Structure formats: C-alpha cells, structure tokens
Chain A
Amino acid sequence: MVENKANCEQVWREISNYVDGEVDTALRQTMEEHFQSCKRCTSVLAGMRNVVQLYGDERMLEVPAGFSRRLEKRLASDVAVRGKRWSSWSAWLVPMAAMALIAGSVVLMNSLTFKNFIQSRHAQPGNNIPPDLMVVVSNGSKLFHVPGCAFIRDKASERTMTAKEAMRDGYVPCTRCLRQYLKTGLRREAKDDDATAETEEPPDDVLSTVGQ
C-alpha cells in the first residue's frame, strides 16, 4: 500500500517523540491508528520501548569492582584536606595571611634597604678616611682611633692596623679623634658628591693635631 509506506516513514520520524509523549494529540491519534494496521511499525514501537525500558534500568548502571570504595577514599582524603584549608572563614585566612606576609616583607625590605643606606653613611663614614691610615683598636669597644686618642679604652689591649682593616673587622671610627673625617663625609653629602672637595681635605692636619 503506497499510502501506508508514506505513513510508516512519518511514523518512524516521530516514533521517538511518541515514546516520550512529546507529540500533540492529533499526531498521536494518527499514529495510533497507523499502529493498529501496521505490524512493522508496531514492532518498531515495541522494540524501541523495550530499548528504553532495558537501558533505563538501574541494573544497567554498572561500575567496576571497588569503584565505590575508591571514590569514598579519594573524597575522604581530598575533601578533608581541601575542607580544612578552604572552608568558611579560613578560606579568607590563607590569602589574607599571604598578603600580609608580602606587604610585611616589602615594608621590611624597604626599611632594611633604607637603614643600610643610612648606616653606610654614619657607621662607615670611614669612606673618607684614607684606607692606609694607621689606627688603633682595643678590647671592649668597636671603635677605632688615631693612636694616642684620649678615648681609647683598655689601652693595654691596643692593636694597630690600617683603617681599611679596622673597618673590614667591623670597627667604626671614633667620633672624636676622627671627627675631621666624619665632618668631611657629612660635608661631602651636603655638597652633593663633590668628590674634588673631599680629596683636597688634608688628613695630615688631623694626625698632627691629635698626635700631639
């Protein structure tokens, strides 16, 4: 029957929607009439319903042996760890702590750098002291002096070395006997790194003054 063949194709196109109840009433009626007279389409319908029923069954959802145990274990370990680290307020704690740490480090680094810069001018004003100048250090103090300075402590432990060696060992110049050099240093700063002015300072003068 030519008419029936055309109807079969139409039925096949809609048969999945029919099974899902997604066809309108008119089409549903047309299809039901067709099924009554067409064995083949009825077979297709029954077969499709069987497919939907079988595959939709819970028993078709098989998992490999040990699947549940492994999933539970994985969740128990990872969820516990992540939970502790990220849950609720502590979720904010970590990033905030990290930011505080970074900010703190930046401040600290800045201040250290700045201090070092300052210290290099004050604690090591020896920049202006001739490195080969013979100086005296003694126990109980981290100062170095021009020989004969009245402020040398524990004169019995006096040792003589060059200014360069003294500074390398961490000694700083005595502000009294070596004041000239320190002033020179300050003046040099004030003069905006006028190197020629500094080199022209006569260190001999100081030596002779203090040495008397």
Chain B
Amino acid sequence: MSEPDMVLINPEQTRPTREQDLIVNVQRGKNELFYELVRPYERRVYAAALAILRNEQDAEDTVQEAMLKAFANIRQFRAEARFSTWLIQITVNEALMRRRRERTVVMEGIDDRRPDEEAEYAPRDFADWREIPSEALERKEVRQRLAEALATLDRKYREVFVMRDMEHLNIQETAEALGISVASVKTRLLRARLMLRDLLAAGWEQGWFSRLPFEKGNKPW
C-alpha cells in the first residue's frame, strides 16, 4: 500500500512515513529495527496488559511475549490497520490467554456474572467537587490515586475503559479486542466513566487531592 493511501485511511496517524518505513524494513528482515518500531507504544501495551492481569510482573511478561509474537507475525501486518491497534490487540489477546491459563479470573468471576443491563447507575450528587487539572498528573500520588480508583472497577468495566479512554481504541476496535459487542462496549464505558467520576469526587471529599494547588477560580460543581 502506498503512503498516500495510508494517510487517507489513517488520518490520525501522526508519523505514517517513519513508521511505515520501519514496518517495511522489519518485514524485509531488518530485525534490529523492531524495538524502535514498537517503542512508542510500549507504555500503551503495558497498560492494556495491566488492565487485564492487574499484576505488574504478569503484565510485563505478557508484553514481552506479545511483542515477540508481533515480530513473528510482522509480515502479516497489513497497512489498512493502525500499527498501534494491531500491537494492542496482540497484547490483549496474549493477556486474555494468560488469564485463562492461570485462572486468575476466579476471584473476579462473581462480579462479572451480573449482566450489563442491570439497574441503571445513578451518578452521585456531590456538594463539593472540583475538577482535577491535568497538571496534577505530575504528582505521583495523584497518578497513584487514579490508578487505585481504576483498579476497584469490576473487570468488564475496567477493561473497556482502559481500551477506550487510555489506549484510545475506537468503539469497534475495543469490541473486537475484547470479543464483546459494540452495545456492550457503550454500556460498560458509560458505567465505568460514571463510577470513576463518582470515585474521584468521593476521593476529593476524603481529601485525596486536598494538597493540590488548585486555582481559586475553580468552582465546585
């Protein structure tokens, strides 16, 4: 596939030329370029594996295995797909297989028997909540709090949320990666976002972010 086509199909791809070059070169046997090719996505694939496995060591092992699989199958990569999406899907597959193998699912299985169509979730009404500015992410404790909040979500909500809002897969890609319907992706995503909004607001009330240097102009909702 020629480069203009690539741009047309993947308008959001920021560096089609460089990445495309790398892919072609690796496909032609320049194996030493493979890490350079996947390096921009290593954090995203790790987050995907962690969302599914919830264990740092397992997630890291999974990423390594997944990247080796990606390398072994690099000739099957077609330019119609986004390379990042392809890598994430391989990683998600690998992580799901690992979880099935190790049966870590047992603990979480109970939560997941509840159908998506359960009673609608009513977001809490908070008297005092402020927006957390992006700059707060510079602080490790804030990132830690957010990660902890995410980890409390049921598996099915957490996975969809991570694929959609952290991995930036679209709804269709998320559905394919996790093997669920588009409708399920939408329902679970709504629920995950609402719950996280409530968790963060509750955290605010509990003083999680009390030492953050918010500007006085930020109004409580």
Contact = CB atoms under 8 A, between A and B. Distances in A.
A163 to B, nearest CB: 65
Interface stretch (B4-12, B13-21, B104-112, B118-126): B118-126
A13 B189 CA distance: 11
B63 interface: yes
A56 B44 CA distance: 11
Nearest to A44: B123
Given A43-B129, A56-B166, A68-B39, A13 B72 contact: no
A64 B31 CA distance: 26
B151 interface: no
A72 interface: yes
Contacts of B64: 70-71, 74-75
Interface stretch (A15-23, A94-102, A121-129, A183-191): A15-23
B123 A68 contact: no
Contact of B166 (A12, A55, A83): A55
A65 to B, nearest CB: 10
Interface residues of B, number: 53
Contacts of A20: 171
A47 B44 contact: no
Given A63-B46, A76-B35, A70 B129 contact: no
A55 B186 contact: no
A42 B219 CA distance: 12
Contacts of B56: 64
A71 B134 CA distance: 29
B35 A72 contact: yes
A87 B166 CA distance: 35
A16 B193 contact: yes
Contact of A75 (B34, B120, B189, B190): B34
Interface in B180-198: 186, 189-190, 193-194, 196-198
Interface in A1-24: 9, 12-13, 15-17, 19-20, 22
Contact of A43 (B31, B42, B125, B134): B125
B146 A55 contact: yes
A43 B68 CA distance: 45
A47 B166 contact: no
Nearest to B57: A64
A52 interface: yes
A39 B128 CA distance: 12
Contacts of B150: 55
Contacts of A52: 165, 193
A153 interface: no
B92 interface: no
Contacts of B39: 68, 72
B100 interface: no
A54 B132 contact: yes
> What 7 A-B pairs have minimum CB-CB distances, sorted nearest first?
A43-B221, A83-B31, A16-B190, A47-B197, A61-B43, A59-B137, A87-B29
22 contacts: A12-B121, A17-B190, A19-B193, A42-B221, A47-B200, A47-B201, A51-B165, A54-B200, A55-B150, A58-B43, A59-B137, A60-B47, A64-B56, A68-B42, A71-B63, A72-B35, A75-B68, A76-B35, A79-B35, A82-B68, A82-B72, A88-B28
Interface of A: 9, 12-13, 15-17, 19-20, 22, 39-40, 42-44, 46-48, 50-64, 67-68, 70-72, 74-76, 78-80, 82-83, 86-88
Given A47-B131, A61-B47, 9 more contacts: A48-B194, A56-B165, A62-B43, A62-B143, A64-B56, A71-B64, A76-B32, A79-B34, A87-B29
